[in-house]
Structure 1
Amino acid sequence: MMASVTASDVAALRGVITADCVRASSPERACDNEGSACVCELDDADLQRFLVARRRDVDAATELVRQERTWKSKYLPVMRTASLEALLAKHKVVHGGRTANGDAVVVVYVRKHDKNEEDCVHLNTQLAVVAIEAGMARSESGQLLAVMDMSEFGWAQTDLAMAKRIIYLLSIAYPERLSKMILFRAWLPFRSFYALVSPFVDERSKRKVHFASELSELESLHALTLSDLPVELGGTLDTATDSDSGCWWDALDRSVLLHQATDADK
């Protein structure tokens, strides 16, 4: 992923954001005087991700850093509410294994999504953030491979607002964290919906999206093993404990990302 980014590219981006740190006085810039994370704390691997996402354009990468920092200052930490706990317990998202190159596998059962549920986009955005952060905590490469089980896709899953939110998260809040997205068992109803969604996806991200109809394709074309995949998809991995939301919280740095909700939140 990082082959085209040079050390001089990283140094140039670091120079710009360091200057921003000196000048900045509000979250709309690079730093927050009230204590949120400063861009100067980003390591070289982080800067490489931003540069890859913006094709080595230092100015564009700098703006992406600012957007990512602004988003995180507004939406993190995620509140550990009863509503989010209940959503996690639906077993909609589970941990898979880890690929040969160290990507953490995350499996999403899209049929368990219902766009008609109360506060759907907000709660599912929180779920997505928890899934991404927990996946990164398990990843050795810093990236995730998402397997989206599209079987039984129907009207309740045609959620354009949520699809656009996921696109935003992966392109702005977590750029280059996704190595590949496999749309598994995506039959005609979903493919029609995908035609509506795809114009919102940039060309680089589109190249990360793959369709697969059979378990054998996941193994032969995407180097996934049965031990990487849950039993529900035909693999051998027991993901039953993922229905206990505690395993998600335990994978995360609670002092940074999550904190216990008050009684009023519950």
Structure 2
Amino acid sequence: DGSSTVFPVSQAVAEEFRKVQPGVQVNVGVSGTGGGFKRFTVGETDISDASRPIKDKEAAEAKANNVEYIEMRLGTDGLTVIVNKNNSFVDCLTITELNAIWKPGSTINNWKDVRAGFPDQKLRLYGPDTDSGTFDYFTEEVNGEAQMSRADYTASADDNVLVQGVSGDKGGLGYFGYAYYQPNAANLKALAIDNGKGCVEVAPESIEDGSYSPLSRPLYIYVNKASMARPEMKKFVEFYLDEGAKLTNEVGYVASDQNVYAENKIKAGL
């Protein structure tokens, strides 16, 4: 359970695993990174998908409940800022402009107030809810502090709701992980981001080389150590680490290199 961003990877791994181990049932859910950790740190789930590292208070909760865990880095995502595909006036936004739009107390509700020369077009915002690691990461990088954001936007833990919202709203603006943009690219337009060094488009290459900054962020799974005592769980984690890099790339993220996956295996005792 956990991150909607990591969900496509875990879902793909689970589907492939069922082909070789049809007798093992693997349930993959979505509740946001924070929502996933709420369940994981009390021992309800075996694996937690996360689009940010575990927070100190979450780690303390796990310790209080005797939940020991292994952190495994899967790869890197480019947090993608999107508008309606018929939006013809914006191709790139600066981090300063994103901050002006999304900061707490922002009253920008029209594109003409974002930048001089933009048309008189109602601006409606779509984004992840407050349990989301994507929300944490975006607000920290754009607004300077995690969880600090204006609240008057359409919020959902389901990225497909955000896709549908922006694709059906001519003045819409939203953000989510790159793997949700790719299959919906025909219905959406991804914006380049300017952090002061010029506009950089989101793509596997810019995510990997770090030029898509500051919206590139790490992706993880957290594994309950005690769960690894179960043979089927051990097999699943081993399968995840064998196939994870390939499937991380296939869904649209940039997988960590094989050395990282080898380290993950050592940490898991595989």
Q: Which TM bucket (shorter chain)?
A: under 0.3
Q: Identify the structure with the greater strand proportion.
A: 2
Q: Identify the structure with the greater helix proportion.
A: 1
- Superposition TM-score, scaled by structure 2 size: 0.23
User: Which protein, 1 or 2, shows the higher relative CO under an 8 Å CA cutoff with sep ≥ 6?
Assistant: 2
